[in-house]
Structure 1
């Protein structure tokens, strides 16, 4: 008889406990509806201590409300709270909650938006942490791990960046895709659409025009390059070369990897190897203006300025608007002035010296006239290019073209 009384007493205690727990979960729901997320967390913490006593219905509601409480309004949320919210929603989903699926999507979206805000304010480490958290909530979203690696690189957190890049490499991440866009007829802005079908549907209306498909290239070359550059930064050239060889073995014809390998040797200071690889790359991509431009840069650094000009001119043939190529040609031409000035400064006051001085003055003007067309071409396309405008202004002054010099001075003031 005493045994039965004890059992009944225990049952009563359990029932009271369950009722109290339900009240705490209900109270948490009320606090959430009022936006009092901190008080909701307190109620849920108390309920969690007795969670094993709740039935599946109340346990599901507990995890749903926990996700809502820790996500809050999605603003000024810590990475830890984002993770807690995501884990809670995942547990609710496992128990059959459809509302939790929407909640988990909100967590991932809020994480990404918060990471973008951090990135825009150059809080790259925080952005990386949030992007990794978003990836961990849905590991199909490998693109967020890629962005996390890039942010870690910007933060100069090379260990973290290397870890994420290595993960991406192990996952076989490619990152190539198609981008479907059209121009908004009202604003004139080009807008990207999530699918070709949606873009094509919108393009049939008067709202969008000029539909375009753009292939986003593979990111494997960039990842291999960044892994190698991190190793170079850490002073481990052997690991850098090994990482690049490993990447090439899996993708021997990848043009991006060939470019990355050339860049690696450039960073190591091996300009000869760089030029060798870039010339091989030219054979594979003869219409890529950036390859010729990069060859121009390295060739100029190796001291062959005339050959560098050839490469820059080829880049301009393929891309007439490449201002950097025009600027570099002008810089190489103007660099010839140094030897002339040195000779002029070394002349005396004899008749022969005065004659030579006049000859050198004309040579100097010839250099200016040779460089001017490249600067004028840049300014014609972009009058805000301060370097080109300033250099042209100085040249016009030296040539005595006062009106042109004044015009450049006015542009520079703008």
Structure 2
């Protein structure tokens, strides 16, 4: 009697196994046809007896589950993509050779969806998807970096701090070597991977190979950690974060620049200037440093120092339009005190004389600023700010023909 019962039990188990195998195969066929909902239904039917199945069937089950939840990879919910990711990982553990491709497809879908979210300014959603991409493969630290950046844009500072802290613990710098060469046919420089670049050079279709190392992101990460602390009113922690970063990356000028920015954000412009001058002494050929010093000097009320810094920036980079615009702005900034003094004068003979002297000073301010604006317009004919400022100056000087010419240029640009 017992033998008969065992025989019946074994027969039943065999029937269940056969049915389960069929459902898994049917799920695979449904995936091939793009019937993902149907595939999920077959997999749900097969799931209750999965623990009894052979590893090969389990591998197929999880592979098909990953494929069913991934679908086409377009407009797929984050939850479904994560379900697909976990399924592919389980399939990989069971020996599926196709699971790695599935994981790569999930990552691509997450990243592309995150890019779409960024373009639509859905920064929180983009951050979640990029972090999910990082979790699939923790070697892809670039996704963690961009997840943090999007969290900042979403003003989700606690999440951003968490992600940046992870990057800091990982000693992430983002430094990489990029490979360039010039296409002989187009004359354009192109970036490609090293093997491809080297092959193109050997073929003779590309010339002028060049390797470039990207700047470290350690300073930016430390700066953003510090800025979050400042946002939270924790200035001591902000300074501590910068000191830790400098200790870990001695000689990194981007960190010093970030430290200077932190003091600037805290309102300590004197400390900002001190650090910036220290950086300049270590990198005296960097025009951006002089430009930034000019900005700070102007905000601190030292107009002449600001102009001198901008001029130094222009010596190093004659095409820096921002520096010329700021020189013009600094010169024109003198006008307000002149006008204020003019408005305070009376009708006496002495006051009339003083008024004429001030009017001449005001005219000189305009004439001093115009050459810088003219150079900006020559280098950048579509710079509406420079054109509009020049137009206003010409009207003030009574040079209406020139003013109208500038007005016409603005109208043309705004068509």
TM-score (norm 1): 0.95
Q: Tell me which of 247, 250, 258 is aligned to 2:248.
A: 250
Q: Where does residue 7 of structure 1 map in the other structure?
A: 6
More moved, 30-39 vs 387-396: 30-39
More moved, 108-117 vs 168-177: 108-117
Structure-to-structure mapping, 1:202-241, within 5 angstroms: 202-205=200-203, 208=206, 210-241=208-239
Deviation at 1:5, TM superposition (A): 1.2
Q: Where does residue 322 of structure 1 map in the other structure?
A: 320
Deviation at 1:353, TM superposition (A): 3.0
More moved, 39-48 vs 171-180: 39-48
**Against the structure 1 CA distance between its residues 189 and 7, is the aligned structure 2 distance closer, same or farther, given a 3 Å change threshold?**
farther
- 2-side partners of 1:184 and 1:103: how far apart? 35
Q: Where does residue 133 of structure 1 map in the other structure?
A: 132
- 2-side partners of 1:377 and 1:205: how far apart? 44
- 2-side partners of 1:183 and 1:84: how far apart? 44
Spell out, residue by residue over 1:255-276, the C-alpha distance to the aligned partner (whole angstroms, 9 max, x if none). 1111111111111111111111
Spell out, residue by residue over 1:381-414, the C-alpha distance to the aligned partner (whole angstroms, 9 max, x if none). 1122221111111111222222321221122111
Q: Tell me which of 268, 290, 293 is aligned to 2:288.
A: 290
Contact 1:61 1:92 in 2 (8 A): yes
Q: Where does residue 97 of structure 2 map in the other structure?
A: 98
Count of residue pairs brought into register by the alignment: 412
Spell out, residue by residue over 1:284-316, the C-alpha distance to the aligned partner (whole angstroms, 9 max, x if none). 111111111111111111111111111111111
Contact 1:22 1:58 in 2 (8 A): yes
Q: Where does residue 171 of structure 1 map in the other structure?
A: 170
Q: State the SS of the aligned residue for 1:180.
A: strand
Q: Where does residue 88 of structure 2 map in the other structure?
A: 89
- 2-side partners of 1:325 and 1:173: how far apart? 33
TM-score (norm 2): 0.95
Deviation at 1:8, TM superposition (A): 1.1
- 1-side partners of 2:188 and 2:35: how far apart? 41
More moved, 396-405 vs 220-229: 396-405
Q: State the SS of the aligned residue for 1:181.
A: strand
- 1-side partners of 2:179 and 2:348: how far apart? 73
- 1-side partners of 2:208 and 2:40: how far apart? 51
Q: Where does residue 150 of structure 2 map in the other structure?
A: 151
Segments of structure 2 that go 5 or more residues without pairing to the other structure are: none
Deviation at 1:185, TM superposition (A): 6.0
**Against the structure 1 CA distance between its residues 188 and 406, is the aligned structure 2 distance closer, same or farther, given a 3 Å change threshold?**
farther
- 2-side partners of 1:207 and 1:32: how far apart? 44
Q: Where does residue 406 of structure 2 map in the other structure?
A: 408
Q: State the SS of the aligned residue for 1:49.
A: helix
Structure-to-structure mapping, 1:48-87, within 5 angstroms: 48-87=47-86
Deviation at 1:352, TM superposition (A): 3.4
**Against the structure 1 CA distance between its residues 207 and 76, is the aligned structure 2 distance closer, same or farther, given a 3 Å change threshold?**
farther
Segments of structure 1 that go 5 or more residues without pairing to the other structure are: none
Q: State the SS of the aligned residue for 2:267.
A: coil
